[in-house]
A and B are shown apart, each in its own frame.
Chain A
Amino acid sequence: MSIQKLFSAPLQVVNLGIESFKEACEKNGAPAVQVDWRPPVEVAPESEAILAKRAAQIEKANRKVMEIILAGTPKLVGLDVARNVIPGMTEDTILHAGPPITWDRMCGPMRGGILAGLVYEGRAATIEEAEKLASSGKIQYAPCHEHAAVGPMAGIVTPSMPVMIIRNEKFGNTAYCTLNEGLGKVLRYGAFGDEVTKRLKWMETVLYPVLKAALAHAGPIDLKNLIAQALHMGDEVHNRNRAGTSLLYRALAPAIVATCANQNDAVAVLNFINGNDHFFLNLSMPACKATLDAARGVKGSSIAVVMARNGTDFGIQLAGTGDLWFTAPAEVPDALYFAGFTKDDANPDIGDSAITETGGLGGFAIAAAPAIVQFVGGSASDAVRYTHQMYEITAGESRMYQIPALDFRGTPTGIDVRKVVEKNLVPVIDTGVAHKQAGVGQVGAGIVSAPMGPFAKAYDALAKLLK
């Protein structure tokens, strides 16, 4: 609009800074919008200029990435044992949550999970033996994310564990996730001991074959469809999976009854699923993983395909920066703690479950799950506000996952690292909190903010790549 044209158009003002200026505009008849402005994040001085210069290239790459993410069709197609299906899984491999980490830097719950895993695998008879082996250098630790897998909390996957196979049919890639162990003394919170081993063995010998047979009978389960329904039923499929689990139960129960010859086993399996509201989490996570993995390797894209924590570091990966991880220390969540526990007991943020937020669910879809926002003493309108804010940092909106409270608007999807950094606004993540000592379990839950560090690093790295 030329200066001349400005004179004849009604003045409409975007105000950045002193708020009274906006009010004066409005009082004098000019519509005005106040920007909730914050100083930008500290990044390399030349990064912003480079990314601005390459904006067209980045936009094009991001459109491609978004098309892949939005068009993904994750389906639960089968179950198998980790060593048979997970790419690169050897007998000495143990997968864990989050970015890469060495034994000496691992947090308590992750170490505990590994010890439990080694005992479960029969590699060690006692915890002491397991500890020796774990720190011997013989075991190869690798992120789940680098093996097409995801795991909640410690995210430990050992070769004998049964895994669910999720296929993104549209793009042909696959993701894997273990079965959710339920509550109590569980490996994913770093618990070890007979109870843990016994449960893992039961899962391997009863739950796995029963589910495998049932799924073969029922045929693939469309997870995208199921998640979409769950959002309409009050889940955001990260911290609330009650609806998703119920829907899955409906899909599986008749097949279990039809295929399981041993009635006791059938009852045990059905009760196991029914008794664990988070059973579906181990499906919503790999559904997102399969969807996002298809978008990897699009040069120039600024969209995140991974956010994950190992209890020590918080890491992200971008579609446009290959296999690079960008990390910063994971923070201790400000959460609502269970009776008897405080923030002092809490482990820094842990788990691959932030893949749900990366896929436009979890904290990003929290407006669909107002019950969850009460974790931070919030109201239903706070939930709406969280989701609204996430539209600020995402590249698009889901065509399938919708939020009733927002007039069925699609969930904010595809975290654009440029927006995170330039608006100084980090993703919100809905999370459970683990005790910092191995094996104590969950001590709280809440809504936490991702640290800015990994995003700032990814921003600089992308700029360097596009220079």
Chain B
Amino acid sequence: MNTAGRVKQGFYFDSVTLMRVGRELSGLPGVAEASVVMATEANKSILAMSDLLLPEFKKCGDQDLVIVVRAKDAKAANDALAKAEDMLSRKKKPAAGGAAAAPAPRDLASAVALLPGANLALISVAGRYAAREARKALEQGLHVMLFSDNVSIADEVALKKLAHRKGLLVMGPDCGTAILNGVPLAFANVVPKGPIGIVGASGTGTQEVTCIIANEGSGVSQAIGTGGRDVKDAVGGIAFLDALQALANDRETKVILLVSKPPQPGVLKKVKALLRKIKKPVVALFLGEAGTPATLEEAALLAVAHAKGEAPAQALAHLTRRDEILAAEARTIVAKRKKPKGRYLRGLFSGGTFCAEAQVVLDGLVRHLYSNAPLGDSQKLKNAWKPEKNAVVDLGEDEFTVGRAHPMIDFTLRNKMILEQAADPDVSVILLDVVLGYGANLDPAGELVPVIKQAAKKVFVVAGVNGTIGDPQNRAKTVEALREAGAHVQLTNAAASKLAGLIAAEVARQNR
């Protein structure tokens, strides 16, 4: 060990600055200990205790700075001394004290103090804490969008009752999508303002209808989510009914569009009773119920027709023509491939409502339809990880999302399944949804292109790109990239499902 030191006469530094320099020196390679102090009696006695009091320090006084280093050799010690001098002579950055920004608020109340006009709390913290935060928000007079799931039904009811009493809205829990005053919230698309007001108990369903409305040249006044459980009798449709009433009263809203799985009887009764009092045109899609509209696409087109003052029949006739074009396209696509393999369609969905809508569309196009989230005549898949026959899988179901990000964000699992399904000799078509908008993966094409390129060599890949031209992902480029990779792209989920079903049917016919 080599101990070396220096005395700087008449230097003064704050003791804290000196301690920092000392600490930095101690961290240098080869340095065992270092101290940089003013040579007061107290400091000298500290140095003496550590055996760092060099003889030349003894006569130093309060006005002298001493630097001492114990290192493995003379070079390390001298390097450290030089470093100390360098640090002490360096010009300091201007102090930033006065300009320092306040740290982020730690709770809702402090945030409201910062943003006194706040009127909505968007809550996506872990479910077991979410109800507590939502309650605080309501008590502060804020509307709530509760993106979090895993909130108990008792908490949901209590929150919604409290909100109802206060004239506030609780969207959720498990509400993925809303557009309020033109602002997309959580998983939502960029959609122009317009005359159509939406109440949606399904997140992706709401995303799809708002996109179609935008793509058809109309717009959305408000899209209010309720969370899927709201239309169950246990909750009683509190948010659904409040939202519907608010849209009925809203002057901007000319047409009302309801998107939900079929409400339970008690809620349905209340909804129907309220609808009888509403004078505005209302289009209600209870997905899975037979009749018109049966799909998100039909519902959205009907709402747009009402908004534009066109005859609803005309909108549906337009769809029939579109389906004829798709049938021709399917035949062309199949004809281009020599000996297409397999006979089954496999749909891999990141959006639950897309998976449901696909089942409605595929009903009648393919036989023996299975799903992990069966609807109508579909049968329940025994094992969602190993689809069989014609099958559509909702990758947003709990069996896939435990310990994983949502499949709209994290494509890893679906990419793996795409390749697995493409390699299955029984599979002819893979159907995908590609969801754009805020919240979703910002580079879906980048994630999918390599996988689709591989899969498209073996099977037909059909993708529904669900988004608008305003979405942050750049829809045009996404579509182009997917097409180049070999996918057949449609701009609605219904059209993509239709095309996929037609291709599967055609291949199955050939391979019978």
Contact = CB atoms under 8 A, between A and B. Distances in A.
Given A11-B181, A36-B106, A381 B100 contact: yes
Given A12-B119, A35-B111, A4 B106 contact: no
Contacts of A374: 14, 16-17, 19-20
Interface in A1-54: 1-4, 6-7, 9-18, 20-22, 24-25, 27-40, 48
Contact of B119 (A1, A17, A29): A1
A131 interface: no
A7 B222 contact: yes
A422 interface: yes
Contacts of A13: 118, 120-122, 183, 185
Contact of A14 (B46, B118, B169): B118
Interface string B92-114: 00011111101111111011101
B117 A21 contact: no
Given A31-B117, A36-B105, A388-B103, A14 B181 contact: no
A116 to B, nearest CB: 18
Given A28-B183, A183-B42, A336-B19, A35 B106 contact: yes
A447 to B, nearest CB: 11
A34 B123 contact: no
Contacts of B14: 371, 374
B328 to A, nearest CB: 40
Given A17-B148, A28-B183, A339 B33 contact: yes
Interface in A340-389: 340, 367, 370-372, 374-375, 377, 379-381, 383-385, 388-389
A338 B19 contact: yes
Scoring B17, B122, B188, B221 by chain A CB atoms within 10 A of each residue's CB, the highest score goes to B122
B422 interface: no
Interface of B: 14, 16-17, 19-20, 22-23, 26, 33-35, 37, 42, 45-47, 49-50, 52, 95-100, 102-108, 110-112, 114-115, 117-126, 129, 132-133, 137, 141-143, 147-148, 167-169, 180-186, 188, 190, 221-222, 242-243, 246, 249-250, 252, 438-439, 472
B99 to A, nearest CB: 7
B120 A6 contact: yes
Interface residues of A, number: 65
B110 to A, nearest CB: 6
18 contacts: A6-B169, A6-B180, A7-B246, A12-B119, A13-B120, A14-B118, A14-B137, A18-B147, A21-B438, A24-B439, A28-B183, A32-B115, A33-B118, A336-B19, A339-B46, A340-B49, A374-B16, A381-B95
Contact of B97 (A6, A33, A370): A370
Given A1-B119, A16-B124, A21-B147, A36 B103 contact: yes
Contacts of B141: 1
Contacts of B184: 24, 28
A307 to B, nearest CB: 19
The DSSP consensus for interface residues of chain B is mixed
Contacts, number: 220
Interface in A392-448: 392, 405, 407, 419, 422-425
A220 interface: no
B296 to A, nearest CB: 23
Given A2-B168, A370-B97, A392-B105, 9 more contacts: A7-B246, A14-B122, A15-B124, A37-B133, A38-B106, A39-B129, A380-B97, A384-B97, A392-B107
Contacts of A423: 106-107, 110
A25 B183 contact: yes
Nearest to A423: B106
Nearest to B137: A14
Contact of B112 (A6, A14, A17, A24): A14
A407 B495 CA distance: 62
B419 to A, nearest CB: 29
A380 B96 contact: yes
A381 B52 contact: no
A367 B101 CA distance: 13
B241 to A, nearest CB: 11
A172 interface: no
A16 B243 contact: no
Contacts of A367: 97
A388 B105 CA distance: 10
A254 interface: no
A184 interface: yes
A39 to B, nearest CB: 6
B125 A16 contact: yes
A405 B17 contact: no
Given A13-B120, A18-B147, A184 B42 contact: yes
Given A16-B123, A340-B33, A3 B105 contact: no
Contacts of B104: 33-36
Given A21-B185, A423-B107, A375 B16 contact: yes
Nearest to B167: A2
Contacts of A183: 42
A340 B32 CA distance: 9
Contacts of B439: 20-21, 24
